[in-house]
Structure 1
Amino acid sequence: MIEIDVQVDLFHPADRVWHALTDRGLLARWFTEVEPMAGARHRLLLFTAGLPGFDAAVDAEVTDRREPELIALRCLEGGRRSRLACAVVPTAEGCRLSVREVLEHGSWSDEQRERREESYRQALTGRLPAILDWLAFRQVDLRRGEAGMTAEMPVTEGFGDEPVPAGRHRWPLLVAGLAAVVLVAGAVVWAVLPAEPEPAAGPGPTPSPTATTTASRTPKPTASAAPTRSTTSPTPRPSRTPSATPSRTPTSAAPSASAVAARYETVSTRLIGYTGEVVLDNAGGAAAKGWTVVVTLAEGGTITDVSGADWRQEGQVVTFTGPPVPAGRSRTFTFAVRDLDPITRAPEGCSLGDDPCAGL
């Protein structure tokens, strides 16, 4: 039995996550468009043909629906049958969303299965948290005192739902949304507070000219001393090098040719975090050994999900490890970070061994 299982911890209440799962308009924003099939109450058509790992649109039937805990679908796509289940479990900081798809008839190639799983993972760790952050603000009237100005998200009908009486779910959504706004607003105010230390910078300009003038004068003696050392140091080296160096150089140059280089990129951002990606490139002629990448997060940053590497976090330092990178190939891993500082959009540091990651 072939299956795909992806989990993500979300810092939002279960009812908000359920809303993003079952509302057609919201689902289209973070995963794919959905349309009810005419004449069939619990039948849906998911327009997944353009997504990685999907061959065609998915004909889905809702087989189980327990708000806000579980929704299960029986799916038919390109002659294959599978069961897809989305489970929401409350946690101390929000909830955990698990998406599990089990293939019952037909087959996926290894590449198709990996691309399909990655498609789910990118949606759950990147686009869904962004929609939930946006939804948390939209569910609260941020300008209640101004006539005609409201940011409240209307309660819409999700697929497979009976019409909900007006006002039935309004108070729970307002309370949950208000809590999220207070949390993020506090983080924003905290981020603005550093403006206070600027008066201390007032007396700073006075010593800075002297510091710059002395700094500009001191390099000159050291610069003059440096040439004399560079000219004298080469002379003893040629006398020693001809005998020993030629035999050692070819062997020492080979490992450097197969060294792995790392580059970092922030692939998505959210109100309370971001998703980073590290690509390891092996341009050498031999397979490199297992690698270790060390990422230093900003203070208070927490890893919530990792794909493509083993990891452990100790304070701000996160250590990622993985298998060898074949010669001429690349390996990629991504990690989602929760950070309440709205200015933080990347780690403070990233290195592969002693070499810093490019792009950071």
Structure 2
Amino acid sequence: MIEIDSEVGLSHPADRVWRALTEPELIARWFTEVEPVAGGHLLLYTAGLPGFDAAVDAEVTERREPELLELRCDEAGRRTRLTFTITPTAEGCRLSVREALEHGTWPAEQRARREECYQQALTGRLPAILDWLAFQQVDLRRDELGDTARLPVTAAIDDAPARRGRRLVLIAVLAAAVLAVGLTVWAVLPREPQPVAGSDPTPLPEPTVGTGATHPPRGAVSARPRPTTTTASARSTRSVAKPSRTPTALPPPAPGVTARYTTVSTRIFGYTGEVVVDNRGDVPVADWTVVVTLSKGGTVAGARGADWRQDGQTVTFTGPPVPAGGSQTFTFDVRDPDPRAKAPEGCTVGDEPCAGATATP
């Protein structure tokens, strides 16, 4: 029996995930449009999805809320059994999707594309819709919350005398504060120099000598730079100008290796990116590394065609060898709290930027 298995961990409770699996308007947001038909069947408009040939006529055969949903599907004569299993976890729940072929055939390429379609929907669009649904539920239930979610309200009473007393005390406190600030400012203001008794208040003229040398006025002597300060500044300048060690440069990419980035799909809180690594050289490339810089708060939910490791906003992808004149493609799903983010901030292969990479707006 040929099967397709996909699984995703979700930070949402099982009942919310159950709604996303059973309410047609929610299913249409993360998978495809659904229409109820006669006889208790559902019509899934999957003809345009990768790995699907036609619309699917689905019948619910088992339903245990909120843990199990099983459908018997007919896709233009190909019959399958599609099972959704929800298992609670400490973080939320785990959703497993299995489709088993009961009648007909699946070409290997079509099966791979179908499995990728499920994986993208589960790791990209479904979490975004669950986040959106969570926000909607919180907003709709705002008036149902208890008193702990609201500001305390005190009963109104006639306390006019007490209010007048408090007002007088407040005015007195403010006046004292203003007076204290004024005294402080007055104390720190510079005072004008007072003339010495018996001295001539008229300033002396600047003396000149026959050599043409000019002496600074008496009041400017204090502005003369101190030798110790000048020496310290010179030492500081020399220490800054001292050459430092040259940092180790990143290794250059393998000769002839380039990369191209494309955003293949978007959603409310994230997107799916695709990178094609091209080897334009004459020899196979065994090792290559693509570094993608996400916007702040962005995380990779999954990748296909490459291994990946995330450290902060930086995600490093590595993958199988690329033959001479060939290419290697991988895709990755990004969750981003900013709905405007539809592409990473940067993409490089070695130290060369990827073609087509655009910064997040």
Please, what TM-score do these two structures have when normalized by structure 1? 0.60
2:213 is matched with: none
Question: Is the CA contact (8 Å cut-off) linking 1:30 and 1:123 kept in structure 2?
Answer: yes
CA gap of 1:91–1:274, structure 2 versus 1, over 3 A, is farther
How many Å apart are 1:82 and its aligned residue? 1.7
- Looking at CA atoms only, which structure, 1 or 2, has the larger radius of gyration? 2
After TM superposition, the structure 1 = structure 2 runs for residues 258-337 of structure 1, keeping only pairs within 5 Å, are 259-268=256-265, 272-284=269-281, 287-298=284-295, 300-337=297-334
Please, what TM-score do these two structures have when normalized by structure 2? 0.60
| 1:210-267 residue CA offsets vs partner (Å, 9 max, x unmatched) | xxxxxxxxxxxxxxxxxxxxxxxxxxxxxxxxxxxxxxxxxxxxx74xx231123444
1:96 is matched with: 94
CA gap of 1:28–1:338, structure 2 versus 1, over 3 A, is closer
CA gap of 1:34–1:14, structure 2 versus 1, over 3 A, is same
2:15 is matched with: 15
Residue type at the aligned position of 1:34: V
CA gap of 1:270–1:93, structure 2 versus 1, over 3 A, is farther
Question: Is the CA contact (8 Å cut-off) linking 1:82 and 1:105 kept in structure 2?
Answer: yes
Give the match's secondary structure for 2:49: coil
Give the match's secondary structure for 2:277: strand
Return the alpha-carbon distance in structure 1 between the equivalents of residues 323 and 13 of structure 2: 43
After TM superposition, the structure 1 = structure 2 runs for residues 192-211 of structure 1, keeping only pairs within 5 Å, are none
1:107 is matched with: 105
Q: What is the Cα-based RMSD across aligned positions, in Å?
A: 3.2
1:353 is matched with: 350
Give the match's secondary structure for 2:122: helix
How many Å apart are 1:121 and its aligned residue? 2.1
How many Å apart are 1:89 and its aligned residue? 2.4
Return the alpha-carbon distance in structure 2 between the equivalents of residues 346 and 33 of structure 1: 26
CA gap of 1:332–1:94, structure 2 versus 1, over 3 A, is farther
How many Å apart are 1:59 and its aligned residue? 2.3
Query: For this pair of structures, how many residues does the alignment match?
Result: 251
Question: Is the CA contact (8 Å cut-off) linking 1:130 and 1:269 kept in structure 2?
Answer: no
Gaps of 5+ in 1: 146-170, 179-254
Return the alpha-carbon distance in structure 2 between the equivalents of residues 345 and 29 of structure 1: 18
How many Å apart are 1:92 and its aligned residue? 3.4
Residue type at the aligned position of 1:70: L
Question: Is the CA contact (8 Å cut-off) linking 1:302 and 1:338 kept in structure 2?
Answer: yes
How many Å apart are 1:306 and its aligned residue? 1.7
Return the alpha-carbon distance in structure 2 between the equivalents of residues 274 and 313 of structure 1: 17
CA gap of 1:142–1:33, structure 2 versus 1, over 3 A, is closer
How many Å apart are 1:117 and its aligned residue? 1.3
Question: Is the CA contact (8 Å cut-off) linking 2:287 and 2:320 kept in structure 1?
Answer: yes
Give the match's secondary structure for 1:264: strand
CA gap of 1:105–1:342, structure 2 versus 1, over 3 A, is closer
Return the alpha-carbon distance in structure 2 between the equivalents of residues 85 and 76 of structure 1: 14
Residue type at the aligned position of 1:25: E
Query: After the TM superposition, which of the residue ranges 104-113 and 332-341 deviates more from structure 2?
Result: 332-341
How many Å apart are 1:332 and its aligned residue? 2.5
Question: Is the CA contact (8 Å cut-off) linking 2:128 and 2:270 kept in structure 1?
Answer: no
Query: After the TM superposition, which of the residue ranges 109-118 and 282-291 deviates more from structure 2?
Result: 282-291
1:71 is matched with: 69
How many Å apart are 1:10 and its aligned residue? 2.7
Return the alpha-carbon distance in structure 2 between the equivalents of residues 335 and 323 of structure 1: 16
1:137 aligns with 2:162: no
Gaps of 5+ in 2: 150-253
Residue type at the aligned position of 1:352: V
After TM superposition, the structure 1 = structure 2 runs for residues 112-123 of structure 1, keeping only pairs within 5 Å, are 112-123=110-121
CA gap of 1:132–1:351, structure 2 versus 1, over 3 A, is same
Residue type at the aligned position of 2:7: Q
Return the alpha-carbon distance in structure 1 between the equivalents of residues 352 and 286 of structure 2: 16
After TM superposition, the structure 1 = structure 2 runs for residues 237-276 of structure 1, keeping only pairs within 5 Å, are 256=255, 259-268=256-265, 272-276=269-273
How many Å apart are 1:354 and its aligned residue? 2.8
Question: Is the CA contact (8 Å cut-off) linking 1:133 and 1:270 kept in structure 2?
Answer: no
| 1:59-101 residue CA offsets vs partner (Å, 9 max, x unmatched) | 2222221212121112222332222111222333333222211
Residue type at the aligned position of 1:9: G
Question: Is the CA contact (8 Å cut-off) linking 2:120 and 2:333 kept in structure 1?
Answer: no
Residue type at the aligned position of 2:79: R
CA gap of 1:76–1:342, structure 2 versus 1, over 3 A, is closer
Residue type at the aligned position of 1:101: E
How many Å apart are 1:345 and its aligned residue? 5.1
